[in-house]
Amino acid sequence: MTVYITVISLVISTPLGLLWAAGKMCPWRIIHWPVSVIINITRGLPMIVVLFYIYFVFPDIGITLTSFEASVIGIAFCYSTYIAEIFRAGIEAVDRGQLEAARSLGMGFRKAMCRVILPQAFHIALPPYSNTLVMMLKDSALASTIAVTEITRQGQLIAASTFDNTTIYTLVALLYLALSLPLMAMTKRLEARRVKGA
């Protein structure tokens, strides 16, 4: 369940984050301003509050979600704003001359972005993006607060029935480490490759 929440949240938050990044960088104020407000408000809220709001408040306006759906939507939405800033920083780090050179070769703006700017931006953004995956995996534990039976929630249930808190929560911590350490190693390797490539 922990892996499901993490993977599905990542699949949703990545394109949404790219969309937020495009909106924030849009020169039109009518698009730029509301996107910036959404990103800033979401980043300023604790994720657990967002999860509670989606799970407990949405039914009051006629939107009823399962605890799993609420956790995925909440985590994906929150992380999409962080991913947006990662992508935006990556795009802005690419030399402006690259876009001008692509345009001078006859490429349209969209083709220049897809073929020249975004591949370089993604290369720059990859280490912090992969680090976000590790954070998302750890924050999936917050789903336990709305009764999703992932690792933390399962640990709580077992500890409540066995009263063996030390063993159970040690195992929970080790399970998270077993999932996180390979991802952290991947992040470090990507950062090393980027430095070597630079």
What does the domain layout of the chain look like in residue ranges? Answer: 1-148
Residues 6+ apart with CB under 8 A from 79: 9, 10, 13, 17, 132, 135, 136, 139
- pLDDT at position 198: 55
Does the domain formed by 1-148 have CATH 1.10.3720.10?
yes
pTM score above 0.75: yes
Nearest to 85, CA basis, from 150, 25, 172: 25
Token digits for 195? 């430095």
At residue 85, does pLDDT exceed 80?
A: yes
Look up residue 63 and give its two tokens.
């939107």
Tens digit of each residue's pLDDT (9 = 90 or more) over 23-62: 998 888 899 999 999 999 999 989 999 999 999 999 998 9
* CA dihedral for 145, 151, 156, 161, sign (positive or negative): positive
Which H, E and C letters describe 8-76, residue by residue? HHHHHHHHHHHHHHHHHHCCCHHHHHHHHHHHHHHHHCCHHHHHHHHHHHHHHHCCCCCHHHHHHHHHH
Q: How far apart are CA 115 and CA 165, in angstroms?
A: 53
